[in-house]
Structures are given as structure tokens and as C-alpha cells.
Amino acid sequence: MGTISDNTCLPQASAKTEGQSHLAEAKPGIEAGGAADYPADLLQNYRQLCERFQRTTNALASAAHDLKTPLAILNGYVELLESEKLGPLNQRQKEIIGDMQASGQRLQHFIQDFLSYTVLETGELRMQYEVGDINASLSEVCRLWSHRFQEKGLALYFLANEKLHAFPFDSAKVQRVISNLLENASKFTPAGGTVWLHAEPYMWERRSAAKPGMEKERRRQPLSSPNAVKVSVSDTGPGIPPEYHLEVFDDFFRLPGTENQSDGMGLGLAIARRLVNAMGGKLWVESEPGAGCKFSFLLLLKPSLNSSSKGKTK
């Protein structure tokens, strides 16, 4: 059974919905005044679909908000009972209270996923970049997850990288991405397995459009030093078949045969990718069946202030 050594975690304006954006890209005439090029019923169906999508998203957000208050009250009473301030509990009662608390926390996590999903879908996400230490941010997440990994018999390792210097990033959103990736790893890595959290400087050779007057081709920008940070979460789980490497980031997607193996609604990776994309980064997975998974994402050392507020899948 894996254990965690003492040095395991070292400190160190509303936009169009994603669905509308994809349709607008596919049918530019609809957004660019070319409605006459399409049958009237097609344009009407398109608008009805967008309106229905928006109503559904708003209803989901409203329901999630309405559930937060009563759930917080229930969790508060459970904590009060667990503290035995209202009287002593026998062993059986303690077990029941423990189960209630775990269920309440799981439901709270679901609600938070719904809220995050709706914010990303409606384009209301806002970045808050501050110069900070990425090692300290990752170390904090690692400490928060260490207990859960120990309970599941998993080893979690993270060592600060001295080559990483302070740069502007949204710490809260980066930590949310890492948490979602660690949660995914903890779900599918069997007891006795290992999960690694790693960060390093990275030279991201992004492609840019050719200059005016040149042929319509895309050229790589020459790099002389790292322009990004690569953060990875690797595990010794069962792995993911190559044909699902893109689908795992889809909304509400679960790998065939794993539907009953874990809690959740299939939003963790979808939210992680949207957040990374909204920060101007990139998230992907490398995996083969039986060889574990490695989820990696890139963060620019000099993020653009015009990063999309939507985590549109690229």
C-alpha cells in the first residue's frame, strides 16, 4: 500500500455561449448579416436552440444557487451533532453522522461543479492575475489532498521546482484545475498506486498567423527561453484508450464501463479544460490502456489580458 513520505508535499462582459460560438463559426453568415443565405426555418431553429440552451443553463444555475443555502444549514447541523455539543453519541450514531457528513460534502461538490459549469457557459468568468509563486500554490493543493489520498491507500508526490520563478497567474483557478485532476486520479488509481504532481518551465511553440503580404501559412514563433509553465498530474491507474483522449474533456462524459465506478457527473475534466483555455493555456492527456494517465496543462508566463472569459474547447 502506498504511503506519503514526510517530504511528499514540500511548501514552497457576458459573451455568447459556447454553443452559439461554435455555430457562429460554422455559419458565419448568421452573425455577419448573411441570414438571407439560409432558409428562414433554419435561422429560426438556430435562434430557438440558442434560447433554449440559455434557459437551460440559467435554470441549472438558479437550481444550484437555491440548493446552496439549505445544504449549508444541513451540513452545519451535522457538524454540530458530530461535535457532541448537544449530547454524547454512541458508536453507531457516530457512524451515521459520518456518512451524513460525507454525503453532504459530496452534494456540495456537485453543486459547485454546476455553478462553475454555468459560469463558464454563460461567459461570466473573470480572470484575476496576480504575480505569485506557482510552487506554493501547488504545494497548498497537495496538502489539502494528502489526507484523502492516504485514506485511499495512494501515494501523492510533489517537489517544488527551483527553476520556476514568480509570474502572473490566477491562483484560485489554477488550484481548481489541479484539484479536478487530482480528484480524477484518486478515483481511478487503485489502492497502492502513485500520483505525481509536477511543474516545470516549458517552451511552448505556439503558431501565429503569417504577416500581411505573405502566403496564408502559419509559422512557429522562434523561442530562446521558456514562455510557459507546464503542470502535470500522472498516475498509475488503468489508463485511457487513445480514441477517448478528446472525449474525456466533454461535458458529462464518462468512459464506457466506468459509469458505476465513481461518483460525479463527468464535469471535472470539462471544467478543468475550460478554465485552462480561459487562461490562454492548453490541457491534454497522454495515456495508453494499462499504462496510467498523464494530464498536462500549460500556463503562459505572460498571460494575455484579453484571455477569453469562456473556456471554449479548442
Q: What percent of the chain has pLDDT over 90?
A: 39
**Cα 93–95–97 angle (5° rounding)?**
70
**Cα 112–3–185 angle (5° rounding)?**
35
Q: What is the pLDDT of residue 149?
A: 95
Q: Which of 139, 153, 165 is nearest to 12 (CA)?
A: 139
Q: What is the pTM of this model?
A: 0.67
Amino acid (1-letter code) at residue 84: E
Amino acid (1-letter code) at residue 92: R
Amino acid (1-letter code) at residue 165: H
Q: Which long-range contacts (CB under 8 A, 24 or more apart) does 297-301 make?
A: 297/177, 297/230, 297/231, 297/272, 298/202, 298/204, 298/228, 298/229, 298/230, 298/231, 299/134, 299/169, 299/174, 299/228, 299/229, 299/231, 300/204, 300/227, 300/228, 301/167, 301/226, 301/227, 301/228, 301/229
Place of cell 510552487: 135
Q: Which long-range contacts (CB under 8 A, 24 or more apart) does 202-206 make?
A: 202/226, 202/227, 202/228, 202/229, 202/230, 202/298, 203/227, 203/228, 204/228, 204/282, 204/298, 204/300
Q: What is the pLDDT of residue 90?
A: 92
Concatenating the DSSP letter of every residue in 213-269 gives TS-S-EEEPP-SS--EEEEEEEE-S----GGGTTGGGSTT---TT-TTTS-S-S-HH
pLDDT tens sequence across 93-112? 988 888 888 788 777 767 77
Place of cell 471554449: 312
pLDDT tens sequence across 195-236? 999 999 999 987 654 444 444 444 555 677 899 999 999 999
260 and 254 in contact (C-beta within 8 Å)?
A: no
